[in-house]
Structure 1
Amino acid sequence: MAEKTVTILSQQGLHARPASLFAQTAAASGAEVTIAKPGGAPVNAASILGVISLGLGHGDEVTVSVTGANEDVVLADLVTLLETDHDA
C-alpha cells in the first residue's frame, strides 16, 4: 500500500470539476483508492459522491491510500491532481 497526506490547493476546494477528475483518475487506475480527512473514515476515491461528501476546501489535508498494481504511479498522479489549482 502507498499512502500520502496532501494539502488541497484548488482555491475553491475539491468541488465538482476537480472532484470528478480525481474520481475518474482513481477509477481508471484499477487500484483500490481511498481518500480521508484526518481522523475521518476513508471513502472510495473512485466515487465522485464520496469525494464530494468530504466537503474538502482549500488548505484542507487529506490522506490518499492506494493498493494494487502501480500504486506508486497512481498515488503520484492523484497527488498531482490535489496539488494543482484547478480554479486558476
Structure 2
Amino acid sequence: MIEKAVVVTNRLGIHARPATVFVQAAARFDADIFLSKGDVSRVNGKSIMGVMMLAAEQGAEVLVEAEGSDAQQAVERLAELLASDFEDKI
C-alpha cells in the first residue's frame, strides 16, 4: 500500500466538479484507490459519491492510498491533483 497525505488547496474544496475530475483521473489507474479525511472512513477514490462524501474543504488534509501494479504513479498523480486548485482541470 502506497500512501501520501495532501492538503486541499482549492478555495471551494472538493465539490462536484473537482470530485468528477479526480474520479476520472483515478479510473485511469489499475490500482485500487482510497481516500480518507480525519474521522471519515476510507472511501473508494473511483466513486464520485465516495469522494463527495469526504466533504474535503480548503485546508483539509486528505490521505491518498493506492494498492496495485501502478500504485506509486497513482498516488503521485492524484495527490498532485488534490493539491492543485483544479481551475485548469475543469
What's the TM-score bracket when you normalise by the shorter of the two chains? over 0.9
Mapping for residues 3-82 of structure 1, pairs under 5 Å: 3-82=3-82
Paired residues of 2:6 and 2:64 also in contact (CA < 8 A): yes
* TM-score of the aligned structures, taking structure 2 as reference length: 0.91
- What is the letter of the counterpart of residue 15 of structure 2? H
Runs of 5+ unmatched residues, structure 1: none
Residues of 2 paired with 1:53 and 1:87: CA distance?
Answer: 21
Structural RMSD (CA): 1.3
Q: Give the % identical residues.
A: 36
Runs of 5+ unmatched residues, structure 2: none
* TM-score of the aligned structures, taking structure 1 as reference length: 0.92
Residues of 2 paired with 1:27 and 1:87: CA distance?
Answer: 20
Runs of 4+ in 1 over 4 A off after TM superposition: none
Paired residues of 1:6 and 1:61 also in contact (CA < 8 A): yes
